[in-house]
Amino acid sequence: MAAQVKSKQRVEEHGEVFTNEREVNAMLDMVKQETERIDSRFLEPACGDGNFLSEVLRRKLAVVTERYGKSQLEYERYTFVAVSSIYGVDILQDNVEECRERLYGIVKNAYEQQFKDDCRPEVLDSIRYLLAKNILCGDALTLTTNNGEPIVFPEWSLVMGSKVKRRDFTFAALLNVSAEAPTFDMLDEIDQDEMGKIIPKPIKEYPMTSFLEVAKYE
């Protein structure tokens, strides 16, 4: 079993005690259907080295393999969707790096097991880029990065086959979303300010691109 504590100092300063596999699985089983939905969005605001996120990814990829394992392009597209919908924040940079590396390793192993020598490096490059944008170092209480900038998450939507649309949102804007979805009648009565609270506005929109070329965005 992996160690649950790295050091006494980290426990004292950051409350860092990792959750063991049995508990991770028991908790994820409470939302089992969501963990097996390829495009279901998960955001963990204190993700550590990714105990929860890696298990979510494993479950999603098992579905990708089962459904699309016979078609390489479909497998690659849905692997992209599975990873693109997983988000994490941690205040400690080494945890963030370990988490990204761990998720990357899970994708790479699954992909290589399925397609062996036919694996395309550009698919793995896109996955690396997704993880660099979705798993971020910052403070989930102040919603800022360690430089004091707002934490920004991209939303990735696969549209028109292999094309991807990216829109960036601040973490703060995402959390301001009203928990109650408006009815159509209510929409007529809501002014623009109210609307902004219900539907967060992206701070940046990007032109559509192939899922294999997202790394060219910046």
Where do contacts with ligand SAM occur on this chain (CB under 6 A)? 14-19, 44-48, 51-52, 89-92, 95, 139-141
Q: Nearest distance from residue 13's CB to ligand SAM, in Å?
A: 8
Handedness of CA 210, 213, 216, 218 (dihedral sign): positive
Q: Which is nearer to ligand SAM, 3 or 181 (CB)?
A: 3
Please state the separation of Cα 214 from the chain's center in Å.
Answer: 15
The token pair at 207 is 């032109």
Select the residue whose beta carbon is closest to ligand SAM and give its number: 48
Residue 159: count other Cβ atoms within 10 Å of its Cβ: 9
Q: Residue 99 in contact with residue 50, Cβ under 8 Å?
A: yes
Q: Which is nearer to ligand SAM, 72 or 144 (CB)?
A: 144
Handedness of CA 89, 95, 97, 103 (dihedral sign): negative
Q: Nearest distance from residue 116's CB to ligand SAM, in Å?
A: 32
Identity of the residue numbered 154 = P
Q: Which is nearer to ligand SAM, 141 or 159 (CB)?
A: 141
Q: Which is nearer to ligand SAM, 141 or 181 (CB)?
A: 141
The Cα-based distances of 22 to 18, 55, 57 in angstroms read 12, 11, 16
Q: Nearest distance from residue 35's CB to ligand SAM, in Å?
A: 15
Q: Which is nearer to ligand SAM, 42 or 104 (CB)?
A: 42
Q: Nearest distance from residue 4's CB to ligand SAM, in Å?
A: 8
